[in-house]
Every structure is written in structure tokens, then in C-alpha cells.
Amino acid sequence: MKSSIRNFFYPKSICIPGASTKELSIGYEILKTIKKFNYSGKIFPVNPKADEILGYHCYHSISKISDQIDLAIIVVPKRFTLDTIEELLAQNVKSIILITAGFKETGEEGKVREREIVDKIKDAGGSMVGPNCMGVINTLPEVNLNATFIAEEPETGKIAYLSQSGALGAMILNSLRLTDIRFAHFISVGNKADLNENDFVRFWESDENIEIMTMYLESFDNGFEFIKPLMLNEITKPIVVLKAGKTESGMRAASSHTGALSSHDKIVDELLKQFGVIRVDNINELFNTAKVFENFPAPKGNKVAVVTNAGGPSILLADKIEEEGLQLAELSNETKSKLREIVHPEGTVNNPIDLLPGGNEISFPQVIKAVLEDRNVDAVISLFVEPVMVKPMPIVEAINEIESDKPILQVIMPLPEFWNEYRENSKLRKPIFRNPEDPAEVLSNMLFHINGKEKRARLKSSNEEILSNVGAGKYAFNSGFITQAKAAEIAEHYDLPIVKEIIIDADKIDEQRIEFYPLVIKGINKEVVHKSELNAVKLNIRNSDELKKAILQISESFKSHKYITEKYLLQEFVEAKHELLLGGYRDPSFGPVIMFGSGGKYVEILDDTAIRSAFIAAEEITEMILSTKIGKILSGVRGEESVDLTKLTNIIKSASQMLIENEKIIEFDLNPLIVDAKDQFHAVDIRIKFGE
């Protein structure tokens, strides 16, 4: 980790080139915010025309500052940025935030400028946040730094937040009084020309003031560097990601099925899942999740007890509980008899426990304490809708006071004035939720994190071994799809179950004695990707007469499409019970990924595939297989026996290894990988593409 990263959050001195005396300019407002927030270190505003700003001595140039500068926050106009950076580097400043905009986001020229700046800073051993960003906050009392231009004063907590969008960062700061998020650190990273989420994740993992990392991202510029520390179990804190931009990219260039079947977003989605990163759908879920991690213990299991005074909302909650893979806890008889003494005779002692509108500050906590003692309960959700005769505040406070190693989450649906009262008068001010569905979503995210963390610890050494094989392969061919013969050679090396086959030059086909029937004959031309579309695949050929006919048909069909039949591929005909797809692709950001699912001619229509990083352990491969429909079928339905999933897992493992070891392979696909009636696997169509 770059040592200069710490200075972005814990600087003892800050220089602000571009500080201004003009109210409402960024150069003025940022200084005003820093002052208002009581920054604990030294401030050096720089402006050639001012002697003093907001009571601070203002330097006419950076070179006039004789003290050490831990952090520079640049707000000068774009045309002065390069000079400013050179001056800072001359003063040995290593940490720079470039707030100024007008770089990569404006086009080619801006991109070149941005590159130039980053190169300069890196050559000098420094690092930069931005450009085109809105600053940094560290609310911890020993620093008290708010170098943004937003009026709100965030309260201190244990959450770190990184925003790729300045506006989204601002929006979140603006809504702090509604959301009650308490940050330790906030950083807006803008164009991410140098430092990005990967750097901050590592830093926050090492910073004991941070317990949860949250981020809004529009891109993973180096997705592999993001997942690698997770693979190696170097990250244990929860990471919650809101990722926008679900549009296609990167994969569009891919020509095989593997490419066409996976959008970049699908890769992001499945890989984050694979490595235990929580991906959320919206800002609400992002911060609800973070707040719960910050304030409550994690549940040990997925069984939830619901205590409520409201029927309808609790049904919505129960639906969500199921949807999120949680369960309504089955209460023990002992608990139920305890509850019968508390709950109104017309209420319910089955989960959800309905206290009816009379439920109050006595019965709610009593019931919650009773269910907390039940071994079948891992978490409690209290759901209160305000009726005329009961005030929410005493109930909420009484529940807040309950101490337990199980999480107790509260949903309150009160009159609007409640929220202010809660902010002002609550003793513990634990987070409470507004929508009945919120806590279920959050509990499931927490469990997902716990399971992911355990899995990463378990797989650490296996992943280390896989990573040590990167580039260990020996295959290097010219770019493009390689010939059938070469593909077969690689497949054999990696023990992929290639079907018995021979390749014959087209002009020698007549002299060749063919001994095995029934067979399949395919016409080959380098340019032809989908042979059956050109009628160049003839199945179940039983004798030499049929073979002659097939050869004629294939060569005529090729001719009519202006292709030369270069070779013929003759294979054993296998009776297919299932056709599978096994593919792989080198994603520009996340590196090698593999794909498994339903195969054959109808892959696109079946659309039944799972994607994972090729850095994958056997147990995860089996889970991947079973996550697809065809995987469930293979594992045996309606009394059928399961195919040998271990064998299939090994095949997928070898294919991943092929991709990991041979970095020049950019794409491969086995489509189909046939399963026959005797549960043997046969790769009948292997394609491998090499890159530059």
C-alpha cells in the first residue's frame, strides 16, 4: 500500500492552491468548510493575490511555505493545474487531491492532460485523488477534516464511503439529517486517474477506525485488483457496493457464445457474489446495510422472529424474509406459552407475533425478550405502525435498551414528527427503518457477508495455489481462433474429454479409409464459426455411402456460401442425453472468467449460464453447476440418478486452469460438451482464441 494514502485522511497540514476570497467560489467555500469543521492541523491557503482568507494567512506561492505539507487540495482553474502540481512536487508533497475538473471527462485532449499529470505525480513517488472530485472528510475528532463544499456537518461513526460521482456524494451529505449516516471517512474519487477503490479498500482494511466500507462505483477499472485481496483473504471487513451502469461493455467484442452470453454487468454481479462483496440495488439499501453493521451484532443464522402491531406490513415483511433466503423462526412451545401470558388473547403467539393495536412499551419489549431466549431465533424484527392511542417514542426507546447478542431491528411507521423527536431525544439513537422490507434485506446482506468471510478464510491456501499458476502455461499461438488440431492438442494437455476424432485435409478425404461408424462429419474453414448454420455438420453417418453423400453436401454448401472446405473433422457419433456449455473469457477488467450452463445450438435461447472468476475452488464449481437449471437436472430430478458431478467439476477446473495458465488465450468454448446415456462427457466442438 502506498504510504501516502494515510495522509488523505490524517494530514497534519493541508495546502490549498486556488483558495479564494470570493464568496461562493469553490476556493472560498472549501476553506470555509474546513474552518467550520475545526480542522486540527495547519492550513496553508495559496493565492498570488490574497494576503489573508477567512482569518488564515494566505501564501502567494507554494514555494513560500516552509513547513511540511501532508496533503494538497487543488482548486485552481484547469490551466494552472500542471504548474501547481510541479510546484507541489518540488516541495515534496506526496498526497494530492485534484478537485479541478475538465480532464478525461471532456474528451481526448483532457485524457492526455490527465495522463501527463498522473505520470508526473507517480514519477515523484506521490499519489493523487481525482481529478473532477469533491474532496475528503474525516470526522474523527483527532482530525476533524471536512474539505468539501457541502454545508452539512456529518457526525462521526465507523463507516467509510467512497463515491465515484461527486453529485452522489453531495446528495448523500445533503441528506444526512434524514438518513442519520455517521461517517468516519468520506472520499470522492472523481475520474480515478491514479488512486481508486482498490487502494482505499486496502487502506480501510488496515485502519482500525473503519468497520464497514461502502462505495458508489460506475466502473471497476481494475476489477482483478479488487478481487485479488479477497481471494487471498486479506480483506475481512464488509464491503458494500452500489454499482451503476448496467449497460454492456467490454464483452461486445467477443465473438463466441461465451462472449454473447455475458454482459459486463453480469460478470460484476457474479464475481462480487463469488468473493463475498455485498452488491446493493440502491442508496437506501447501501446505507441501511452499513448502519446495521455499525450498530448491531450479526445474526448467527437465518431464522427471524417478527413482533408487530400491524397485520399488513408484517405480511410484506414475511414475504421479503422468504425472498431474501431468510426464514420465519418456528417458536418453541416454551416460548409460545410465555407469550400467551403477555399477548392479548385475540393476538397471535405464532411468528409473526401480532400484539394488535394495543401493543405498547410494556408488551413489545417483553415479547422481544421472550423470543430472544428461544434457540430457534437468530434475529428479531419489531414492526410498529402508530395508532392513535400509543406513542412510538417510549416503545422505540424501550426496545433500544434491550441488550442481546442477536440483532433487534425496528421498523417504525409513525406520524412525521416522530423523526425529529427521535433525533433529538433518543438516548441510544440506534438506526431504525422506515419500510417493512428494509430489515430483511439488511439481515440477508449481513449473513451473506459472514458466509463469504468464512469461505474466503477456508479457500485462502487453495486460492494462493491457483494464483501461483498464472502464466505457467506453454501455449502461445498467433492471434485469432486456432486450428482444430491445435485446439485438440491443448485440450488433451488439460485432460478435457475430447471426443475420438480425426482431421483430414479436404483433398485427401477420398483416399482415407474410415474404420469407425457411426460417425459425425464436419466441414472446416477457419472463417466459419458456426458450422451447423452452413449445414456443415452431418450426424449419425453409418457407412461409407452415407459418408460420401455427406461430404458432397458439405462441400456444396460451403461452395454456395463462397467458402472452401479446408478440412474435414470426423468424430465418433455420441448419443447425447444433455448438451452443456463450458466457456471462458478474459475480461479486460476482472481477468479470466469461466461460464457453465445449458449448451448446444440453442444456448442463446436457453440463456441458462453461470459465470465465475476462473480463480475458483472445486467447492465453488460444484455450487456454480447447481446454480444453473441444467445443473439441477444433471444432479438428478424425478428419481433420475445424478451424473458424476465430481467428474464435471474436474473438467471445469481444468478448463479454468487452461485459461489461467495461458494468458494469451482470450476466449474458449466447448459447445457442446455432451453427456451421453452412460454419463460420459465428450467435448465435440472446441474453439480457442488467442489474443495479441
Residue numbers of the site for ligand ADP (CB under 6 A)?
499, 520, 522, 530-532, 537, 539, 571, 573-574, 576, 579, 600-601, 671-672, 684-685
Q: How far is the CB of 266 from Mg ion (least distance, A)?
A: 21
Q: Which residues contact 469 (CB under 8 A, 6 or more apart)?
A: 657, 660, 661
Told to check if 256 binds Mg ion by CB under 5 A, we report no
Q: How far is the CB of 126 from Mg ion (least distance, A)?
A: 52
Residue 192, beta-bridge partner list: none
Nearer to ligand ADP, 67 or 556 (CB): 556
Nearer to ligand ADP, 356 or 539 (CB): 539
Nearer to ligand ADP, 371 or 520 (CB): 520
Q: Is 551 within 8 Å of 568 (Cβ atoms)? A: yes
Greatest pairwise CA separation for the chain in angstroms = 99
Hey, what's the cell of 230? 479477497
Nearer to Mg ion, 127 or 671 (CB): 671
Distance set, CA 291 to CA 47, 188, 305, 352 (Å)? 41, 20, 20, 24
CA distance 364 to 399: 8
Nearer to Mg ion, 31 or 487 (CB): 487
H or E stretch including 465? Answer: helix 438-468
**One character per residue 619-658, x = contact with Mg ion (rule: CB under 5 A):** ----------------------------------------
Q: Which residues contact 639 (CB under 8 A, 6 or more apart)?
A: none
Q: Which of 355, 354, 303, 307 is nearest to 328 (CA)?
A: 303
For every residue of 667-691, DSSP letters joined together read EEEEEEEEEETTS-EEE--EEEEE-
Nearer to ligand ADP, 154 or 600 (CB): 600
Nearer to ligand ADP, 419 or 517 (CB): 517
Residue 571 interacting entry, from Mg ion, ligand ADP, none, C-beta within 5 to 8 Å by type: ligand ADP
The single residue among 97, 237, 685, 690 that binds Mg ion, judged by CB under 5 A, is 685
Residue 45 interacting entry, from Mg ion, ligand ADP, none, C-beta within 5 to 8 Å by type: none
Q: How far is the CB of 353 from ligand ADP (least distance, A)?
A: 56
Nearer to ligand ADP, 139 or 571 (CB): 571
Q: How far is the CB of 571 from Mg ion (least distance, A)?
A: 12
CA distance 36 to 39: 8
Scanning residues 64 to 103, which ones bind Mg ion (CB under 5 A)?
none
Residue 522 interacting entry, from Mg ion, ligand ADP, none, C-beta within 5 to 8 Å by type: ligand ADP
Residue 277 has a CB neighbour count (10 Å cut-off) of: 24
CA distance 360 to 362: 5
Q: How far is the CB of 473 from ligand ADP (least distance, A)?
A: 25
Nearer to ligand ADP, 335 or 571 (CB): 571
Scanning residues 373 to 402, which ones bind Mg ion (CB under 5 A)?
none
Q: How far is the CB of 668 from ligand ADP (least distance, A)?
A: 13
Nearer to Mg ion, 230 or 686 (CB): 686
Q: Is 220 within 8 Å of 197 (Cβ atoms)? A: yes
Nearer to ligand ADP, 276 or 672 (CB): 672
Q: How far is the CB of 676 from ligand ADP (least distance, A)?
A: 9
Told to check if 671 binds Mg ion by CB under 5 A, we report yes
Distance set, CA 50 to CA 18, 91, 106, 156, 669 (Å)? 10, 21, 31, 34, 66
Q: How far is the CB of 256 from Mg ion (least distance, A)?
A: 9
Residue 131 interacting entry, from ligand ADP, Mg ion, none, C-beta within 5 to 8 Å by type: none
Q: How far is the CB of 518 from ligand ADP (least distance, A)?
A: 9
Report which residue type is found at 517: Y
Told to check if 669 binds Mg ion by CB under 5 A, we report no
Residue 601 interacting entry, from Mg ion, ligand ADP, none, C-beta within 5 to 8 Å by type: ligand ADP
Q: Is 9 within 8 Å of 67 (Cβ atoms)? A: no
Distance set, CA 235 to CA 78, 220, 239, 454 (Å)? 37, 17, 9, 12
Chain centroid to CA 5:
23
Residue 573 interacting entry, from Mg ion, ligand ADP, none, C-beta within 5 to 8 Å by type: ligand ADP
For every residue of 473-502, DSSP letters joined together read ------SEEPPHHHHHHHHHHTT--BPSEE
Q: How far is the CB of 540 from ligand ADP (least distance, A)?
A: 8
Binding site for Mg ion (CB under 5 A): 671, 685
